[in-house]
Amino acid sequence: MSVYKNQRKAEAVRADDPYKKLSSVIRQARQNISQKVMPGALCLRLINGDGPTQLQRLINGLAPEDRDHAIANIYTLLLDQRRRRELGAYFTPPHLVNHLLSRLQQFGLDIRKHRIHDPAAGGAAFIVPIARRLVIHLKAEGFSDENILSDLRGRLSGMEIDRGLAVVANALVRRMLRGEFGLKLEREFSLISQGNSLKSEDDEKVDAIIGNPPYGKVGAEGNKQWREKFSDIAGGQLNLYSMFVRQGLDRLKPGGLLGFIVPMSFIGGPEFSLFRKRITEMADVLAIDLIEKRVDVFLDVVQDATIVVLQRKFDAPKSIVPTCAMVQADASIKNLGVPIVTNDGKPWRLPSTGLLEGGFRLSDYGYTATVGHLVANRQSDRLRKKKNKGDWPLIWAKAITSNGKFDHKRGLEHTDKIWVTAPENAPYIIRKACVVLQRTSNRKQKRRLNAAAIPKSFIKRHGGVVGENHVIFLIAGEKPRITPQRLAILMNSDSVNRRFESMSGTVSVSAKLLGEIDLPDPALLGNMNRSNAEYVIATAYAKSFFGQQVKQSSSPNDITEPTMQNRGAKGEESLGSVKRLYKAGRETGGAGYMQSSKLYALCGTFNQIR
């Protein structure tokens, strides 16, 4: 059945779907694309109020900042998706923009006085709200329209590499100024210039750099191009966002603030060691805030983003204690405490995210983590389609199924070569019971840790296995405390994944960090199996933390994991009461995302038809 028919079928099923009508409008928009109408043209029509009727009506029903967010997203949905990924064009929802602005104001940003720049302006997600707030102030102080506009131009700027997006962003700025404040503007009034911020020669110092820069490794070409300019942060592969942070700091006056939404990878990633070191030389870390959810925050990507606020150092040293808060699902803020930020390049540590500490490590379980040996594209001559004498099963990341099973042949979905020639005595052949984990998780995957036990019978049949470089093995030592099957279940659990996420934000998993994950007492996992896993593991953490007095709740059905905040005197709490408190806290979440979800439903419908 074609995608189109599938879509029709889905629409018929969702007859009461409020976005159903939108689908036909979007289909019309798609026809426009085939007629070579550019994304910018459709967005400008939507901004001017003469877009396709139904889409326009839906967009007009949104609050101004959500409307802008929707239009910017529509632009990116119309882009060639490869181009979109290259640009890193995933836009910040309004509640995170507001959070970052409040954070910067809390640390001294004064939008009435300061000069502010967004080097990756996208659809003006930051520029429009800052300009709005500024105009409100200036109007209240009696400034003339002309002075307001010249003030805006002098103190607020953005740069965007994509020409069409820069045009749309400026149109959004103009619509806000005209529509909300009745300001009279020239047709060309703009705050966002088109250009590559990383190549920009503009070195005029500003008071604040704000935004959400593009993310992504720059690849071999990019490394060649940028390594010299960014040599002081280029430990491993350069990442676009670290270059934006580094460059942003250069443009700040002493005491100036940088507030960015960036991936969490810089906090613990080994390849960011030089970056961490250099950043702490140049700036003080004022805040590292976390975002409770990783799905439905940015449209179309699952991203562990964090909000970081840095302050360019003054000449005289100041002693600054960084803070860490959680932007919760209902957009409220919860203070988490003090992150540990060192200036020696070692991983920084976030304060406890409220999860109970189990106190055990992988080594206490009798396992060690090691990365798969074979870099396939460098040793392709050793790969085989069929097994011959002297060949071993080659374990690709694909061999780990999404439900935590091991399936060697699934590697065939990635390549036709799932055997490798290796000398009988090669030290990298794994001959013991083990768990295999994917070294990188796909952004669409819900879990970061994806593990499967390799059955003993498989190892026995082939004498051992060789790992491709995108897997990590957890290998049992002499006396493992639990079986590889149970360890795989544990690694795939929500409880362990949440703890891992609080340590590392990247989609890649390092063997070193696996060794650092906080685990519960292995003795408490004896009766764990696939169906009761979440319950047994959550209980095991609670028991490890509170002591054995914790009473078992009678029903495992509604178990949610207790947190530090809910603890009473050690050992006195029953799991039931901890659970109730925790649930009560959780159930308040959700509302802040409703508006974003609505927008994403809009854009999601749009995407399906493409």
Ligand X SMILES: C[S@@+](CC[C@H](N)C(=O)[O-])C[C@H]1O[C@@H](n2cnc3c(N)ncnc32)[C@H](O)[C@@H]1O
Summarize as ranges the residues that interact with ligand X (CB under 6 A): 87-92, 118-123, 125-126, 159-162, 165, 196-198, 211-214
Cβ partners under 8 Å of residue 2, min gap 6 = none
- Of 196 and 342, CB closest to ligand X: 196
Residue closest to ligand X when measured from CB atoms: 122
**Count of positions (residues) in the chain:** 610
- Of 118 and 468, CB closest to ligand X: 118
- Of 32 and 193, CB closest to ligand X: 193
Q: Give me the least distance between CB of 123 and ligand X, in Å please.
A: 6
- Of 100 and 578, CB closest to ligand X: 100
Q: Give me the least distance between CB of 252 and ligand X, in Å please.
A: 17
Q: Give me the least distance between CB of 125 and ligand X, in Å please.
A: 3
At residue 350, φ and ψ (nearest 5 deg) are: -80, 155
- Of 123 and 467, CB closest to ligand X: 123
Q: Give me the least distance between CB of 263 and ligand X, in Å please.
A: 10
- Of 214 and 358, CB closest to ligand X: 214
* Burial profile 321-330: b = 16 or more Cβ within 10 angstroms, e = fewer: ebbbbbbbbe
Q: Is 365 within 8 Å of 475 (Cβ atoms)? A: no
- Of 40 and 123, CB closest to ligand X: 123
Local structure of 274: helix, strand or coil: helix
Amino acid letter, 247: Q
Q: Quick one: tokens of 356?
A: 């109970």
- Of 240 and 429, CB closest to ligand X: 240
Q: Quick one: tokens of 284?
A: 């003080």
Percentages (nearest 5) of helix, strand, coil residues in the chain: 45, 15, 40
Local structure of 133: helix, strand or coil: helix
Return d(Cα 563, Cα 355) in angstroms, integer: 5
- Of 240 and 449, CB closest to ligand X: 240
Cβ partners under 8 Å of residue 371, min gap 6 = 439, 467, 469, 471, 472, 473, 511
Q: Where do the DSSP E strands lie in 313-431?
A: 324-327, 333-337, 367-371, 383-384, 391-395, 419-421
Q: Is 522 within 8 Å of 480 (Cβ atoms)? A: no
Q: Is 268 within 8 Å of 568 (Cβ atoms)? A: no
Q: Give me the least distance between CB of 600 and ligand X, in Å please.
A: 14
Q: Is 256 within 8 Å of 311 (Cβ atoms)? A: yes
Residue 216: which of 86, 347, 81 has the closest Cα? 86
In the chain, the largest separation of any two C-alpha atoms, in whole Å, equals 86
